[in-house]
Amino acid sequence: MANLKTTPLWLLLLLQVIIVRGERTRDTMYQPILGASCFRRLNGTHQTGCSSTHSGSVGVLHLINYDADLDFLLGNPPSPPYAPMIPPHLFTRSNLLRLKEAGPKIISAVLLINKSEKMQQFSHELSCPNKYSGIGRGGNSSETCDESNTALTWNPWGTGLLHEDFPFPIYYIADFDEILKLENCFTKFNSVNFDSQALRSLCAVEVKAFMSAAVNSEVCMRRTNFINNLGGSKYCDPLEGRNVYATLYPRNSSEFIDETKLRKSNPAEKFIIISCRLDTTSMFDGVGVGAMDSLTGLATLTIVAHMLRQLLPDQNTLPDPHRNVLFVAFNGESYDFIGSQRFVYDMENLNFPRRSAQSTPISFENIEFMLDIGTLDDIRNIRLHTLHKSSTVAQKLLQQLNRYAKSSLYDFQLNIGSNAGYNMPPTSAQSFLRRDDNFPAFILNALPSNKYYHSIYDDRDNVGFMYANTSQDYTALTDVSDFKNFNANSLQMKIRNVSSIVAMVLYETLTGRQYEYKDVANPVLSDEFFYCFLQSSDCPLFKASSNPDSPPGLPLPPMRYISVLGGSQESSGWTYRMLGYLLSQPQPQVLKENCTQLPLFYYSGFNGTGECRLTTQNYTHALSPAFLINNYNWSSGQYSTWTESTWSQFSARIFLRPSKMHEITILSIGIVVFIISFCLIYIISSRWEVLFDDVPASNAAFPPPTNC
């Protein structure tokens, strides 16, 4: 009985040993490779991006050091399919299209390795970003940006790879240890005698990045919403996020929530819109901070808002007490102006702000003018763009900007030029001008010089940022001569200069008198801003902008891609808190326990001691109107139609792929063993009496019954 009781225990132990040995065998066979994958997006007419096969794409590793190395793969390679490892300087449009033409039978995956020593430019965006959403007359996009003339494009270094559809996955490996692992595997098994590769085992990679969506957004959304989709499968999601807005002064136009009543704007209210872009994008998931393409604009807007908050008196003392400034950071602008299109749509329908904000809607009649802060590639070469040369508002604005830019009192040493006509930068203002080309929208934009626009390399090195970490108070303004902690040509000082100029112009516009003080924007605030968005969310500015009991941010920069519903909204969340903090008014008489409901919010503050403040910030939905309109014409081009495919996982791992001869040999041995085993079993089962004739019968062990 004891043996019978211990039998299940031994079986369990044996099974556990088998499982553990199986896992160890698998671990020795495969080595994971950490990285980021390209993924699929769709619009109303096309699909773009990458996808692996459903079970994963497998290819033999091949290191590409020169353009000529591709000839080996694209000629008649001995052991296809391959997965070329390509450095950034060879990751060009011509090379990628050659690999695409070869097809998945030859090229099953592409690995982009982070070896940027020879890289001189790297932009995957079109040379004319958002070219189908511009303001060209009669749909003529070449009026705002002419691809045939490099001088009239806004991204001369663009390759357009972000808008190509590839039949294989593209995987980016940034970590140098992971790259070394790949190179060592290639050198050990693949780099010797290429012609004999078919005769030996080779180092290969398996990339899993299967995309569920296909064709275009219309087909994908129809499949997702199909009434017979009983399994609840989702194939794609619309790109959506949140715009962040805040007013300089709290609004006094309250509105009670009553869904039965039509909303009406207050004609006495007047707003100046100061806007910028909140998001960025790249080819790879979760990689890319958009340092130059949009973060410099967001920094400028933030510092302008803070400087005005510090300078301006109470709203009731202004010449026009109904004037206000509306700061807006639009999300999703990288994809045909999603955020600004929705903003315009909501304003047209008197749905901005939402009813839940309990304030009267803002209409286009409430807007005095709009100043859109675009890309500030080269801050010393900024232009004010306007659609109509005869605009008196634009002429006055340009005059004011240059008065402060050239003033000897501040020594900014800037000259702001002008440009009138349809050749305008791809910024949010185009959504407003597309609705009405007489709308007073003006764009402050630098001449294009960003060779890494919308790519993984538009980072802190691209803008030359070095964190000073002064630990000084960034909430106060500083004297114009005080920049002992920063070089005059540093990013912090450049942003200080342009932000101060814009803030001075707005001060003059609101108060009716010129700005004559020596206080300017604080470069320490610029320093802390860029540290938070380029290096670590666990930073002093974000901590001050949060509740004292809030957990710290991650030691990584926030993701700035618009994402989808349920995706990361880190960038908009931190921007919301930061703008709220820098524009808020202290309420020292309100205790912490009473500071729990918006518009009151309890911030940590610069000293971390906690303080109650009156805030004005809020969110608005950044979802294209195309997904709200019934029976929308997906190919009309009226609104953005971008969606993102769903996927199950992103992973890559290397292993030793056996040669064809090895596989044939193993298969042959298996077949022979199977046949021999089958024959032996047949012989044994048919001749068991002869083979086992000495074995007693099963009942021989028992004695015969005795007679009673």
If you average pLDDT over each of 98-112, 123-137, 659-673, which comes out highest?
98-112
Q: Which two tokens stand for residue 468?
A: 């000073």
> For 135-144, 337-346, 645-654, which range has the lowest pLDDT when averaged over its residues?
135-144
What is the reported pLDDT for 688? Answer: 72
* Position 38 pLDDT exceeds 70: yes
* Position 321 pLDDT exceeds 70: yes
Tens digits of residue pLDDT in 387-405? 988 889 999 999 999 999 9
Give the full edge-to-edge strand order of the sheet including 82-86: 31-32, 651-657, 202-208, 57-63, 82-86, 110-113, 170-173, 36-37
Beta strands in 7-149 (DSSP E): 31-32, 36-37, 41-42, 47-48, 57-63, 82-86, 110-113
Given pLDDT bands bounded at 50, 70 and 90, which one contains residue 135? confident
500-528 CB burial, b ≥16 within 10 A, e <16: bbbbbbbbbbbbeeebeeebbbbbbbbbb
Name the helix (H) or strand (E) containing 542. helix 540-544
One-letter amino acid of 97: L
* Position 523 pLDDT exceeds 70: yes
Q: How far apart are CA 418 and CA 416, in angstroms?
A: 7
Q: How far apart are CA 33 and CA 294, in angstroms?
A: 31
Residue predicted with more confidence, 462 or 3: 462
Tens digits of residue pLDDT in 489-511? 999 999 999 999 999 999 999 99
Residues of the chain with CATH 3.40.630.40: 240-623
Q: Is the dihedral of CA 574, 244, 278, 217 positive or negative?
A: positive
What is the reported pLDDT for 4? Answer: 44
Q: How far apart are CA 525 and CA 211, in angstroms?
A: 42
* Position 22 pLDDT exceeds 70: no
Region 272-279 average pLDDT = 97
What is the reported pLDDT for 18? Answer: 56
What is the reported pLDDT for 8? Answer: 53
Region 36-53 average pLDDT = 96
CA angle 393–397–403, rounded 5-degree value: 150
* Position 3 pLDDT exceeds 60: no
Given pLDDT bands bounded at 50, 70 and 90, which one contains residue 192? confident
* Position 522 pLDDT exceeds 70: yes
Q: Could you tell me which of 531, 347, 498 has the C-alpha nearest to residue 410? A: 498
One-letter amino acid of 349: N
Judge whether 201 and 658 are in contact, CB under 8 Å: yes
* Position 26 pLDDT exceeds 70: no
Beta strands in 387-503 (DSSP E): 417-420, 441-446, 478-479
What is the chain's mean pLDDT, rounded?
90
Share of the chain above pLDDT 90, in %: 75
Beta bridge partners of 57: 207
Model pTM? 0.90
What is the reported pLDDT for 256? Answer: 65
What is the reported pLDDT for 1? Answer: 46
CA angle 596–598–604, rounded 5-degree value: 60
Eight-state DSSP code of residue 335: T
Q: Could you tell me which of 449, 404, 408 has the C-alpha nearest to residue 296? A: 449
Tens digits of residue pLDDT in 563-601? 998 888 999 999 999 999 999 999 999 999 999 999 999
Count of other CB atoms within 10 angstroms of residue 98: 16
What is the reported pLDDT for 588? Answer: 93
Region 332-349 average pLDDT = 96
Q: How far apart are CA 336 and CA 507, in angstroms?
A: 33
What's the per-residue H, E or C state across 211-251? Answer: ECCCCCHHHHHHHHHCCCCCCCCCCEEEEEEEEEEEECCCC
Residue predicted with more confidence, 480 or 662: 480
What is the reported pLDDT for 229? Answer: 56
* Position 19 pLDDT exceeds 60: no
CATH class for domain 240-623?
alpha beta
CA-only gyration radius of the chain, Å: 32
Judge whether 340 and 623 are in contact, CB under 8 Å: no
> What's the gap between Cα 704 and its chain centre?
86
